Structure 1
Amino acid sequence: MKKLITKIFAASALFLAAEQISAQKVVVNREVETTEDGKMLLGHQLKDQFLKEPYSTWFVKERDEYALDQNAVKDLKKAKLTSYDLIVFIGTWCEDSHRDFPRLMRILDELKYSEGKLTIIAVNRKKESPTGDESLHNVQKVPTIIVQKYGKEIGRIIEMPTTGYIERDLVEILKKDDSSVIKEIFK
């Protein structure tokens, strides 16, 4: 009887420990104040956070004034970008992020991209976030846009798009993914 009670107690303790670990929640929309940069977002963010001051001053203007490459947007629709997951690392202190993050959001709005497939992580000047996601994804510069399919990275845009247009770079990433799938089928 004593052994049975000990086993039940041990199992219960393991169950409670597992529940506690899985119950840890990620803080969303964290904002910090720094002497160097003033208000700054840090960690996981929702898109709406950028519509608030002081972020809206650069976000809304850049998003609304960006002229989309409509041919590239059509290609993204055809390639079903909406079926991929995106992880975006930005710095609210970073000029490149001020330019490219709102442009990306404009593209995603045009595609009716699901917010559930988008992860936005704001980092500090050391490129660090509270959850350490930047080291998991080896992020060295911001913005970094990572395209994933089934949890596997298929490409990324680092700091600025090589073509000058995020949507064109995304098309190139998706083209590489399509060709690799075809190669796998015919092996």
Structure 2
Amino acid sequence: MKHFYITLALLALISSCDSSKKAVEATPTPQVAETVEPKKPAKPALPAVVVKPAPKQKTMLVGKEDRSALKQAPFDSWFNPNYAKYVVNTDYINDLEKGLEGITITTFMGTWCGDSKRETPRMFKILDEASFKNQDLELITVDRTKKKPTMYTDGNNIIRVPTFIFKKDGKEIGRIVERPVESLEEDMLKILNGEPYKHSYEN
């Protein structure tokens, strides 16, 4: 009988350990939450830098132009100083003012031509001194062949530049070609007064 009670006690002990073990096993292991670092916002892409090529500078003018074109680079390097340093012979200005009434002047010149660079600024300065109207002055710049722009050169017999053509009532009364025979002022006055005049290349 004594052995019976001992056996019951052992069974009770074993069963109690087993249940506690199950209880332990049944208890869930607390989970540690993972720390997730917030994603850094992506840096905005920098806008692409577009490098525009510098505009090409004209080295030659061809076509109908305004005098203001000659005052801009690179032509101002010769036009402005040649205009400034030319001393107009004022003895002729009053007569030129009278003679230029009703006259139109067409200037054919090359921005590549040494004679044009010298004489054109001088002519413009004389005309300014004589109060010549800008609307009666036409400026045509030609290429090295002196044929383009053909819409202006055709029929004008442009062989050398500069060529200053003086017209009255639409008809040519004379021209100064490349350089004056005496001076621009004197040659102009002869043409305007209807005196005998031959330009530098006329037979």
Matches within 5 A, 1:66-105: 66-79=86-99, 81-105=100-124
C-alpha contact (below 8 Å) 1:76/1:171 kept by paired residues: yes
How far is the alpha carbon of 1:83 from its aligned partner?
A: 2.1
How far is the alpha carbon of 1:106 from its aligned partner?
A: 0.3
Q: Over the residues paired in the alignment, what is the CA RMSD in angstroms?
A: 1.9
Is structure 2 residue 192 aligned with structure 1 residue 174? yes
- For residues 82-121 of structure 1, give each alpha carbon's deviation from its aligned partner in whole angstroms, at most 9, with x where no partner exists: 4200000000000000000000110111122111111100
| % identical aligned pairs | 36
The aligned residue for residue 167 of structure 2 is 148
How far is the alpha carbon of 1:137 from its aligned partner?
A: 0.8
C-alpha contact (below 8 Å) 1:45/1:122 kept by paired residues: yes
How far is the alpha carbon of 1:131 from its aligned partner?
A: 4.0
The aligned residue for residue 67 of structure 2 is 47
Is structure 2 residue 80 aligned with structure 1 residue 65? no
- For residues 132-155 of structure 1, give each alpha carbon's deviation from its aligned partner in whole angstroms, at most 9, with x where no partner exists: 322221111100000000100000
C-alpha contact (below 8 Å) 1:92/1:98 kept by paired residues: yes
Distance in 1 separating the partners of 2:84 and 2:102: 25
Distance in 2 separating the partners of 1:41 and 1:82: 29
Corresponding residue SS for 2:140: strand
Distance in 1 separating the partners of 2:101 and 2:81: 25
Normalising by structure 2, what TM-score?
A: 0.65
Distance in 2 separating the partners of 1:112 and 1:176: 21
Normalising by structure 1, what TM-score?
A: 0.71
C-alpha contact (below 8 Å) 2:82/2:121 kept by paired residues: yes
How many aligned positions are there?
A: 141
Corresponding residue SS for 2:172: strand
Corresponding residue SS for 2:189: helix
Amino acid paired to 1:120: L
Is structure 2 residue 124 aligned with structure 1 residue 108? no
Misfit runs of 4+, over 4 Å: none
Q: Which runs of 5+ in 2 are unaligned?
A: 1-55, 196-203
The aligned residue for residue 155 of structure 2 is 136
Matches within 5 A, 1:22-37: none
The aligned residue for residue 136 of structure 2 is 117
Corresponding residue SS for 2:149: coil
Amino acid paired to 2:60: M
- For residues 25-47 of structure 1, give each alpha carbon's deviation from its aligned partner in whole angstroms, at most 9, with x where no partner exists: xxxxxxxx89xxx6100010101
